[in-house]
Structure 1
Amino acid sequence: MNNHEIDYKIYGDDMQFVEIELDPEETTIAEAGSLMMMEDGVSMETIFGDGSGQKGFMGKLFGAGKRLLTGESLFMTAFTNSASGKKHVSFAAPYPGKIIPLDLSLNGGEIICQKDAFLCAAKGVTVGIEFQRKLGTGFFGGEGFIMEKLEGDGMAFIHAGGTMKEVTLSEGEMLRVDTGCLVGMTRGVSYEIEFVKGIKTALFGGEGLFFATLRGPGTVWVQSLPFSRLASRVFSAMPQNPIGRSQGEGSVLGGVFDIFDGD
């Protein structure tokens, strides 16, 4: 294997974190800000790009530039076991959902996933970009022209919002998915955007104007709660009070405050 071979354990249900066990001199890479805790003996180093072993400055610059296009930082963090025994380092999910462990060697060495889905991986995994070649997919696909591409033969971990469903598609089998609910797919899956039929359904159905049409063969990972949907609900529930004072929403006090405010 070209990637470091790591062991792991996932804890929790809705707010999960993954604990990675490192043998001496083993390394895992992660997005900045995802660290939860690490044991004594694990050294932390900020690296340029994804640390997948690009040769020369230009190779590292190109790798970092690809990450910048996906909205990620130019830098990642490498965690190495510098001690003589096994050590552990843990990474937490950014919002409620599931952490999906992916063995790239069992998935054709490549996974295409939505932006911001990547959490951490064994050192050697390349975190690159995947351009959507069709204009319709790029404009209306929910993820834009660019998605993340994970390549290698080791373990990688991505995050999905809410509950995750893994669907295996056979040759020619089709699945329609809300564009925001698509988390990832293997290379063999074709991805297109289809317009919702019927003007009443498109305008008043509440599901948007487009959905993703996925065709096998391959594996697809679907999430029940995209972060954009969660953020929209949170924003709509925020009190429209310029002072920022809580008025006891959902209680009798809320109505009392409304009377005094003249509402």
Structure 2
Amino acid sequence: MRNDEIDYKIHGDDMQFVEVELDPQETVIAEAGAVMMMDDRIRMETVFGSSSSQGGGFMDKIMGAGKRLITGESLFITTFTNEGNGKRHVSFAAPYPGKIIPMDLTEFNGKLICQKDAFLAAARGVEIGVEFQRKLGTGFFGGEGFIMQKLEGDGMAFIHAGGTVIRKDLQPGERLKIDTGCLVAMTSTIDYNIESVRGVKTALFGGEGLFFATLEGPGSVWIQSMPFNRLASRVFSAAPVSGGSSEEKGIGGLFNLFSDR
């Protein structure tokens, strides 16, 4: 095994965090800012690029940082190493309501493709890379663009998605259509493409956008019910403008109409 073998426990329901148990000298890596709490004798270190490139030269570190930058992540990653004699624990919190999904990469031939901001934490040795969408239409209209994250290794990785997450196992030739923003992760054997919505009226007024993502087996896909951009747009549309919502302004204006000046 190239990766550290870590134990873990996921706590919570909709606002989850994952508690990782580290044996002496075991290490877990995580996104900068993801840590929630940790025991004493755990050494936290921020490294440039990826953890796997720290033993290489300057160009290896630049390449590792560049891969993270173009997938929308920070240039830095944080490592947590147990320097004590017994077991220690470190916990990582989800960034918004949803589910934390544990992924044993050995079950997926050592490779998993996921959306750009899905990665939360992983055992030391898991490599975070870049997966380019070679099909032009998929890159432009697939919701995730040309670049997705690629997790490689033979250890545990934890990804996060919004709302409820469901896994679908597709047989050879079986196809599934989903909203382009709802794709969380997929195995490397999945054929990922896009398909336009049929009918002008449906495309313009159906509220589902102009394109669907089409996924063809064999392989497994993970789908989220609440993409973060959808959640953010709802929060933004409901946010008060200039000190109050439109409803509050309307009621306030009505009272001002009958008030004495």
TM band (smaller chain): over 0.9
Any runs of at least 4 consecutive aligned residues in structure 1 with deviations exceeding 6 A, and if so which? none
How many residues were matched structurally? 257
2:62 is the alignment partner of 1:61:
yes
Letter in 1 for 2:166: K
1:34 corresponds in structure 2 to: 34
| Separation of aligned partners in 1, 2:73 and 2:100 | 19
Q: Which residue of 2 aligns with 1:198?
A: 199
Partner of 1:15: 15
- Give the CA deviation at 1:256: 4.5
**SS in structure 2 opposite 1:259?**
helix
Aligned residues of 1:29 and 1:50 also touching (Cα < 8 A): no
Q: Which residue of 2 aligns with 1:47?
A: 47
Q: Which amino acid aligns with 1:102?
A: M
Q: Deviations over 1:27-83 (max 9, x none)?
A: 000000111000111110001112024622211211111111011111100000010
Q: What TM-score, normalized to structure 1?
A: 0.94
Provide the residue aligned with 2:113 in structure 1.
112
Q: Which residue of 1 aligns with 2:254?
A: 259
Does the 8 A contact of 1:166 with 1:219 survive in 2?
A: yes
Please list, as runs of the form range in 1=range in 2, the aligned pairs for 1:81-160 lying within 5 A after superposition: 81-160=82-161
SS in 2 for 1:5: coil
Tell whether 2:214 aligns with 1:219.
no
Question: CA 1:34–1:261 in 2, change beyond 3 Å: closer, same or farther?
Answer: farther
How much has 1:257 moved relative to structure 2? 2.5
Task: Report what 1:209 is aligned to.
Answer: 210
The gaps in structure 1 that reach 5 residues or longer are: none
| Offset of residue 254 of structure 1 | 7.2
Gaps of 5+ in 2: none
Query: Sequence identity of aligned pairs in percent?
Result: 69
Deviations 1:197-240 (A, max 9, x none): 11111001000000100000100000000000000100110122
Structure 2: distance between partners of 1:8 and 1:63: 27
TM-aligned CA deviation for residue 259 of structure 1: 2.3
Mark the CA change 1:205 to 1:25 in structure 2 (over 3 Å): closer, same or farther: same
User: What whole-Å deviation, never above 9, does each CA across 1:151-204 have from its counterpart, x for those lacking one?
Assistant: 000000000100000000111110001000000000000100100011111001
What TM-score, normalized to structure 2? 0.94
Residue in 2 that maps onto 1:234 = 235
Letter in structure 2 aligned against 1:207: E
> SS where residue 128 of structure 2 aligns?
strand
Distance 2:149 2:41 in 1: 32
Look up the match of 2:184. 183
- Rounded Cα–Cα distance in structure 2 between residues aligned with 1:15 and 1:52: 30
Q: 1:199–1:188: structure 2 CA closer, same or farther, 3 Å change rule?
A: same
Deviation per CA, 1:75-100: give whole Å up to 9, x if none.
10000001000000000000000000
Q: Distance in 1 between matches of 2:63 and 2:251?
A: 59
